Structure 1
């Protein structure tokens, strides 16, 4: 797994981070707060279909790990949680060869699959909802799939360049009327080698 010590900076994390997030409610809490901003445990429970006790417990676990912060906006009986500013982008890629423990590997792979399922669900929701949006949003949002041919060095450069572009737009719309948060999911997947025609 990798996480970040600042916008666009990838650093190696410990396998324990996978164990921390490899719980469906914890990953959902973190994703919800990143997308929608601060919320109480009761608000999170209603949004995620959980109960307040479980949501509060897992929120505290995430806070103890530095992934959530108490905004101080609570009313004394409940806390308003928010995703920690330096943990906005948890990278869910994993070099499986670097994880030797079977349980750690299972947790890491579960979280990676859960991350894909989460964004697939979000994209399906956009497909159904897009008709009610202005035309430019309908035209510019959604999947954009392209094939590229790269070696290992070029692959690393490609990912770095894509990350740099997204970092430049991270706060580009701040203060602009009509600006909306947009999630950009970068998924680089190697394709099977194409079979060569006979005789080549």
Structure 2
């Protein structure tokens, strides 16, 4: 069963600029507020403010590589998993504002990964053949009950955890994102 994240985390990330700052830092590494603002199409002041809010929550950190006038921000290193569990057990959320924040964040995560996939579709032709063959969406239907569903999710998570740092130090290794989206389908008539 998925544990409901702390309401403060939902509220913190349920802001479009904050979630985009965190995603950009995770994907591209350290950046100044000015670099983030250019990449995200916003202004430096707002970007700097939201980066500091994320830093206070421990989600990003000042790398200390700034020049005195600017900070270089990076996504904080998580112990076991990157980011926040964005699965939503809506029945466990009592407060209407917290529910709205949680649902907004869940939709935002789906939109973010959809944008990544669209980007890959357009960029893949420039990649080596093996990357073109192995990356992309793989859609398979399975038939499971509730217990099997929980076991499936745990097993997929365990496989991904085994590969989390597997390529460290290997020439040519690249970070990839693996999105697990278990979604019930309507019953067939």
SS of corresponding position for 2:185: coil
Aligned to 1:72: 64
Q: What do residues 97-144 of structure 1 show as CA deviations (whole Å, max 9, x unaligned)?
A: 111111111111111101101110110111111111111111000000
Aligned to 1:32: 24
2-structure distance, mates of 1:167, 1:48? 30
1:20 aligns with 2:18: no
Aligned to 2:131: 137
SS of corresponding position for 1:85: coil
1:170 aligns with 2:164: yes
Q: Of the candidates 108, 116, 120, which is equivalent to residue 110 of structure 2?
A: 116
Q: CA offset at residue 61 of structure 1? A: 0.5
2-structure distance, mates of 1:89, 1:184? 14
1:43 aligns with 2:22: no
Q: CA offset at residue 177 of structure 1? A: 1.1
Q: CA offset at residue 12 of structure 1? A: 4.1
List runs of 5+ in structure 2 lacking aligned partners. Answer: none
Q: Of the candidates 42, 46, 49, which is equivalent to residue 54 of structure 1?
A: 46
Q: CA offset at residue 162 of structure 1? A: 0.6
1:183 aligns with 2:177: yes
Q: CA offset at residue 89 of structure 1? A: 2.9
Question: Could you say what the CA RMSD is over the residues aligned between the two structures, in angstroms?
Answer: 1.2
TM-score w.r.t. the length of structure 2 is 0.95
Q: CA offset at residue 13 of structure 1? A: 2.5
Q: What do residues 81-101 of structure 1 show as CA deviations (whole Å, max 9, x unaligned)?
A: 111111623221111111111
2:33–2:47 CA contact under 8 A, matched in 1 = yes
Q: CA offset at residue 27 of structure 1? A: 0.2
Of stretches 48-57 and 148-157 in structure 1, the one that deviates more from structure 2 is: 148-157
Q: How does 1:125-164 map to 2 (within 5 A)?
A: 125-164=119-158
| Structure having the larger proportion of residues in strand | 1
Q: Which has the larger radius of gyration?
A: 1
SS of corresponding position for 2:118: helix
Task: List 4+ stretches of structure 1 deviating above 4 A.
Answer: none
TM-score w.r.t. the length of structure 1 is 0.90
